[in-house]
Structure 1
């Protein structure tokens, strides 16, 4: 997975080099910056950097520090952490050591005013924009987007995208009826520019929902396009959407493995009824939960995905099934398939603005480590190897174990 912006100095008196985006975050105070990302377990989370030379508090005793950890930090918003870090050296030190920035993001503490800059930073999208600006000979990301839109695209591809645009969030105010004509036109532009920029990926169903969610929360077609491109590059989504969907089988296998570990009773019930989670997993992976969750709640899901990558997908997917577990345990195979396909109607998650952060925290009830994903990746590769070997006619005994050793170094991102 691509890394975010490089770490900036955090010593007292240093000036910030990279903000959450001077261009990208009009509502973010200019004195705050984000340093590192935490898209992989064990790495430090993005951290703010204060600009002032004078700190209000230089040292917190153990009791006060513990009070911060237990009573304040679990409920602090991202803006709270940024504000306090700007004036408190000890806070800055602890927030780096204990990943308070990551905690605030995963607790649903990202406000709409900070979201655009946070996503841009965690995805390292500015590097992608600069590369295209250089290749196209233009001065800005917006101009690069327009240049891509003016490049030729087959009418067949345009029509294919247009059909799906009209099926994307048809009841959402951004895309509904005559009032939604502008939103649909912008979504069409985002998807067409993506096909031009990524000809080896092209267009795949599911991409329209991801692009539409980005458009809803970012506001402009240009911003949505660049973040979609960042998902394709930095988070390996190009291998999910590319012809033949080469990465999708692995992600579905990992999804099923996480469900087996987190929800063993439900897993046994599904297996006994001969039900496969493949279709539900496809929906979760290809649309980033657009079939399961409302766009307002998806903003928080994307916060987690930009921060944690695929770990967030598996954590949230398992949690959705946990919500439905008692219902599914009473159902037949046919009913299970229908229920999962319509799970948005059955989840009954809070949808009011003030309740979304609480609903999001429940969606992260399970922890998924990179070690577990790497084990599942190895198991998937071994399974593929065994299937391949079973299809080959061999005249002599083959040391299958030797072949298996070729796939012992997973590359999960």
Structure 2
């Protein structure tokens, strides 16, 4: 009797172990397919970058469609530089960065920048060291911009824009990209930071109108609860989704921002709320605000290191293997949810990702599946660009938001 039970238990362990191996093989095959797809996408982007005049001219629409699908990490810095016409700016003003650094910004701007440096991506290795290389670069980029734009100077939110750029690019390139984003068409992000922040308020009214167009009952519920976009969208609008979101979303939004201008940021803000609507539609004011706080929650930033995430998953796999009689595969080589992303455009950037880069830890992932659904990069971007939003409608909403006063200039 005991021998039969032992044999049955042994067969069960072998079946469980075989199932575990099949799941692991399936995961590795999926990762291999993803890597092959990434290599193919890199090849396409390298071809486009080497034939930029053709793709940015006659094939521009196709180029934008590819940007909406995401630019591979390995060529993102090069692609952003092309979209932002950095080479042209450097050729026209070769000493721009040095000249702006040499100029003395207004002292109040310097104080504001110094206060914000430590609050910009505080968990990001590039920026968390007080007085470290990352913080010094961020300080110089922001001081240089404040010195060349007296009207805007420095405003909260600009540090995150510069921080994203520094995560991909050397210091001077990051400044030139920020300069182009702030001062050139079709971006003109400086308009968001002008005194009074009227452009931000206008974008919030546009978001209200687009919610009414795409989900009238849901929009009516938000209005009945006095929930305005200023309560949940302002930081995303002013930082182009650089704060409190998974980095995969930040990167995808910025790919579209540099390729098309500011309008994709508004599209994504509307899509985020629509994707969160099943968790918001039946709540009253307090519950809605709590839910939106959860959506902004720093859980999407790593509270522990990537290595700790990987170790946690390895320990879980080892425990599962032990429960199967010690026959489980060694899990130390598993690539968990906290595994490092591929290198980006520069060597410095490859070792330092923005704080929002990591995904939720396994336990949080089970508890907060709805947030992961909202922030799924592919699903979110498809949703954003499936919204039917015409230029005429955007102009009408902007005009309506400005009734009784001069319409503010909006970002591109």
Assess same fold via TM > 0.5.
yes
**98 and 127 in structure 1: CA distance in 2 versus 1, 3 angstrom threshold:** closer
Pairwise CA distance, 1:237: 0.8
Partner of 1:228: 178
Match of 1:237 among 180, 189, 199: 189
| 5+ long unaligned stretches in structure 1 | 1-73, 134-139, 389-405
1:380 aligns with 2:398: yes
**191 and 366 in structure 1: CA distance in 2 versus 1, 3 angstrom threshold:** same
Range moving further from structure 2, 372-381 or 318-327? 372-381
The answer (yes or no) to whether the contact 1:283–1:289 under 8 Å persists in 2 is: yes
Structure 2 CA distance for aligned equivalents of residues 128 and 85 of structure 1:
21
Alignment RMSD: 3.6
Pairwise CA distance, 1:276: 1.0
Secondary structure of 1:247's partner? helix
Partner of 1:303: 255
Match of 2:376 among 330, 354, 359: 359
Partner of 1:106: 68
**290 and 342 in structure 1: CA distance in 2 versus 1, 3 angstrom threshold:** farther
Structure 2 CA distance for aligned equivalents of residues 264 and 257 of structure 1:
9
Structure 2 CA distance for aligned equivalents of residues 363 and 223 of structure 1:
29
Partner of 2:89: 128
| 5+ long unaligned stretches in structure 2 | 1-36, 302-336, 343-357, 360-374
**294 and 146 in structure 1: CA distance in 2 versus 1, 3 angstrom threshold:** farther
Pairwise CA distance, 1:99: 4.3
Structure 1 CA distance for aligned equivalents of residues 133 and 48 of structure 2:
41
Structure number having the greater helix percentage: 2
Range moving further from structure 2, 144-153 or 95-104? 95-104
**77 and 260 in structure 1: CA distance in 2 versus 1, 3 angstrom threshold:** farther
- Spell out, residue by residue over 1:35-68, the C-alpha distance to the aligned partner (whole angstroms, 9 max, x if none): xxxxxxxxxxxxxxxxxxxxxxxxxxxxxxxxxx
Pairwise CA distance, 1:114: 1.3
Q: How many residues align?
A: 303
Partner of 2:152: 201
Match of 2:224 among 272, 297, 302: 272
**105 and 278 in structure 1: CA distance in 2 versus 1, 3 angstrom threshold:** same
The answer (yes or no) to whether the contact 1:166–1:184 under 8 Å persists in 2 is: yes
Pairwise CA distance, 1:332: 2.2
Partner of 1:79: 42
Partner of 1:213: 164
Partner of 2:105: 153
Pairwise CA distance, 1:83: 6.1
**301 and 380 in structure 1: CA distance in 2 versus 1, 3 angstrom threshold:** closer
- What TM-score, normalized by structure 1, do the two folds share? 0.63
Pairwise CA distance, 1:206: 0.8
Structure 1 CA distance for aligned equivalents of residues 300 and 270 of structure 2:
16
| Equivalent runs, 1:183-198 vs 2, <5 Å | 183-198=134-149
The answer (yes or no) to whether the contact 1:81–1:100 under 8 Å persists in 2 is: no
**291 and 265 in structure 1: CA distance in 2 versus 1, 3 angstrom threshold:** farther
**100 and 187 in structure 1: CA distance in 2 versus 1, 3 angstrom threshold:** same
Q: Could you say which structure has the greater relative contact order, defined with CA pairs below 8 angstroms and 6 or more residues apart?
A: 2
